[in-house]
Amino acid sequence: MDWYPLLNSLRIAAISSVTVFFLGICAAYYIARIPRFLKGILDVILTLPLVLPPTVVGYLLLRVLGPKRFFGAWFFEVFGVKLTMQWWSAIFATTVVIFPLMYRTARGAFESFDETLEHAGKTLGLSNSFIFWRIRMPYCKQGIIAGIVLSFARALGEYGATSMICGYTPGRTATVSTTVYQLWRTNDDGLAIKWVLVNVAISATVLLAVNMLERRKRTESTAVA
């Protein structure tokens, strides 16, 4: 059994999760601070990929990154590299698809933050970055970790947008999800079921992790009360 699709899926999911960790947290932090009207609009735009069909996301990405499209063509001209049909092209797709998950969980976590702690930190003379990384983030840790884990799991299972933007080339752009589709198409049931089991095992582990995190969060908050 060739493990390339698993390796590829894992690295795509890992890179996009890390990217989304920073982007999602920045967005959640700053959007909480802007006027309500603008916040409402941005909130809708940033959450949209969560409910759009992944094929729509894939289509929109191709409209921008495709070799004959505006950004893709410019990039090819300058760097000589196509943005689609590479293994890493999938990162664009997964990043867009999982962004809302991270953004919304981070926002929920930040909303539960007691702003008095920030005020206290400021009057004590602590820098804003100290307050953010040493007080706010630890306070919201559980929610944010749950967000990353969920995002990672979703990135691992991404199919629609991924297959549109990087297709299926064995040993190059194949991921677990595109491989399962390919094996089903070619009636290779034996191998297909193996990949299905691998996928189920990973996803189950991730969900278990999320549940455990949430349980810990609950017991901690009841300990406080």
Partner 1 sequence: MGLIADFEKTIGKFKLDIHLATGDDSLSLLGASGCGKSMTLKCIAGIERPDKGRIELNGVTLFDSEKGIDLPPQERRVGYLFQEGALFPNMTILDNVICGIREKLPRREKEKTAREMLAKMHISDTERRRPDSLSGGQQQRAALARILVGKPEILLLDEPFSALDAHLRFELERVVSEAIRDIGKPAIFVSHNRDEAYRITDRIAIMNNGSIEIEGDRHSIFADPQTVYAARMTGCKNLASVDYGQGDGSFVSGSEDKRTVPLSAARVRVPAWGMELEVPNTSKTRSAGMPEGITAIGIRMHDIRLGPAERNQFVCKVEEEIENPFSYTVMLRPAGPTEGTECLGMELDKPTWESARAETITIHIPPENVLLLRE
Exposure string for 149-181, b = 16+ CB within 10 A, e = fewer: bbbbbbbbbbbbbbbbbbebeeeebbbbbbbbe
Largest distance between two CA atoms of the chain:
67
Tell me whether residue 115 or residue 189 sits nearer to partner 1 (CB atom): 115
Exposure string for 102-135, b = 16+ CB within 10 A, e = fewer: bbbbbbebbeebeeeebeebeeeeeeeeebeeeb
With CB under 8 A as the contact rule, the residue among 14, 15, 60, 126 that binds partner 1 is 126
φ/ψ of residue 40, rounded to 5: -60, -45
Residue with tokens 């094929």: 55
Tell me the closest approach of the beta carbon of residue 119 to partner 1, in angstroms: 5
Binding span for partner 1 by CB under 8 A among 4-12, 31-39, 42-50, 132-140: 132-140
With CB under 8 A as the contact rule, the residue among 127, 169, 205, 211 that binds partner 1 is 127
On whether the CB atoms of residues 140 and 106 are closer than 8 A, the answer is: yes
Cα–Cα distance for residue pair 15/25, rounded to 1 Å: 16
Q: Does 32 bind partner 1 (CB under 8 A)?
A: no
Tell me the closest approach of the beta carbon of residue 217 to partner 1, in angstroms: 13
Q: Does 120 bind partner 1 (CB under 8 A)?
A: yes
DSSP notation for 152-196: HHHHHH--HHHHHHH---TTTT--HHHHHHHHHHTT-HHHHHHHH
With CB under 8 A as the contact rule, the residue among 14, 23, 48, 135 that binds partner 1 is 135
Tell me the closest approach of the beta carbon of residue 117 to partner 1, in angstroms: 6
Q: Does 223 bind partner 1 (CB under 8 A)?
A: yes
Q: Does 122 bind partner 1 (CB under 8 A)?
A: yes
Tell me whether residue 187 or residue 222 sits nearer to partner 1 (CB atom): 222
Tell me whether residue 24 or residue 121 sits nearer to partner 1 (CB atom): 121
With CB under 8 A as the contact rule, the residue among 117, 193, 201, 204 that binds partner 1 is 117
Write the single-letter amino acid at 72: G
Q: Does 121 bind partner 1 (CB under 8 A)?
A: yes
Tell me whether residue 43 or residue 118 sits nearer to partner 1 (CB atom): 118
Structure tokens at 151: 């995002």
Chain residues in the site for partner 1 (CB under 8 A): 114, 116-117, 119-127, 134-135, 138-139, 223-224
